[in-house]
Structure 1
Amino acid sequence: MTLGVRGLVIDERGRALLVKHGYVPGWHLPGGGVEVGETFEAALARELAEEANVVVEGSPILHGLFHNRRVSRRDHVAVYVVRRFRVIGERAPDREIVAARFFALDALPPDTTRGTRSRLAEVVEGAPISPQW
């Protein structure tokens, strides 16, 4: 089984943090795999720091657990909402992360992934939660 974690990071202006990877198309919620012996929250903090120079302050809130069949039949993702954080500097692009930016929810890039849009709608607009990514 593959376990992953994503952060739905929302700033004080109501904008969401998205990342663009160098190896897959589209804009995504930041996150990645959970390492052996690592908690979901520790993995979230590590991934947000690595992908966007974001330091989590306080406890993130678990939004839900999702099955991501597009990646594999065994891929499961925990999504946390993060509203208390600080950005410790702009993230320089590299081969893994091309860009990390905050976007107004009514001005998301056209290539924002369907799963990302679904999670945002669930959290911000109260859309029904789907167990599928």
Structure 2
Amino acid sequence: MSARRLEPRPAEKTRLIVRLFHLWFLFRRPMTLGVRGVVYDTQARTVLLVRHTYVAGWQLPGGGVEPGETMEAGLARELEEEGNIALAGAPELKSVHFNRQASRRDHVAVYLVANFRQTRPHTPDGEIAEARFFSLDALPEETTEATRRRLAEIFEGVPVSAEW
């Protein structure tokens, strides 16, 4: 019987690479700041959610703010990358949350984006499997709890939590 090494599947390999990068990132940049956008179509009462290729669930689009970048610039970049969304006006900062799931030093700013245009429909790529608008009263079952909480804080008047 020969010892055969099993190669990880592409998704497992991607998750491992993302985790290793995250650990490297924590050592390299001890304080992290992220942004998330609640891209809201006021006429249709729908919000944009994304499904990543490397983590489960539907989430608000966003990501890390890069060195030398403002939060709004980081938000604009992430929305373009993840949903082909271009800001057409100033986003409104709604809340900032401590994200202990990411690290002991991570914070996430949540912006409401009601003035935007979608430059083209999203096509799946290595990071985002899907990006779609959903009605606030018909979110996908796989929507993350943090996403549901942020939406409830903004649209239902639920008190804002200090934690993600």
| TM above 0.5 | yes
Could you say which residue in structure 2 is the equivalent of 1:71? Answer: 102
Distance across 2 between alignment mates of 1:47 and 1:87: 13
Q: Which amino acid aligns with 2:66?
A: E
- Of 111, 130, 141, the match for 1:110: 141
Q: Which amino acid aligns with 1:9?
A: V
Q: Count matched residues.
A: 133
Q: Which amino acid aligns with 2:46?
A: R
Distance across 2 between alignment mates of 1:94 and 1:86: 20
1:87-102 alignment, distance < 5 Å? 87-102=118-133
- Of 46, 69, 77, the match for 2:77: 46
SS at match of 2:146: helix
Could you say which residue in structure 2 is the equivalent of 1:4? Answer: 34
> Which runs of no fewer than 5 residues in structure 2 stay unpaired?
1-30
> Which runs of no fewer than 5 residues in structure 1 stay unpaired?
none
SS at match of 2:82: helix
Q: Which amino acid aligns with 1:8?
A: V
* TM-score of the aligned structures, taking structure 1 as reference length: 0.98
More helix by share: 2
Once the two structures are superposed, what CA deviation does each residue of 1:32-88 show, in whole Å capped at 9, x if it has no partner? 000000000000000000000000111000001101111111110010000000001
Distance across 2 between alignment mates of 1:114 and 1:69: 15
Q: Which amino acid aligns with 1:84?
A: N
SS at match of 2:50: strand
SS at match of 1:10: strand
* TM-score of the aligned structures, taking structure 2 as reference length: 0.80
Could you say which residue in structure 1 is the equivalent of 2:56? Answer: 25
SS at match of 2:73: helix
Shift of residue 17, structure 1, vs aligned partner: 0.5
Q: Which amino acid aligns with 1:40?
A: M
SS at match of 2:103: coil
Q: 4+ runs of 1 displaced by more than 2 Å?
A: none
Q: Which amino acid aligns with 2:48?
A: L
Shift of residue 22, structure 1, vs aligned partner: 0.2
More strand by share: 1
CA RMSD of aligned residues (A): 0.6
Q: Quick check: 1:60 aligned with 2:91?
A: yes
Q: Which amino acid aligns with 1:68?
A: N
Distance across 2 between alignment mates of 1:24 and 1:61: 27
SS at match of 2:137: helix
Higher relative contact order (CA 8 A, sep 6+): 1
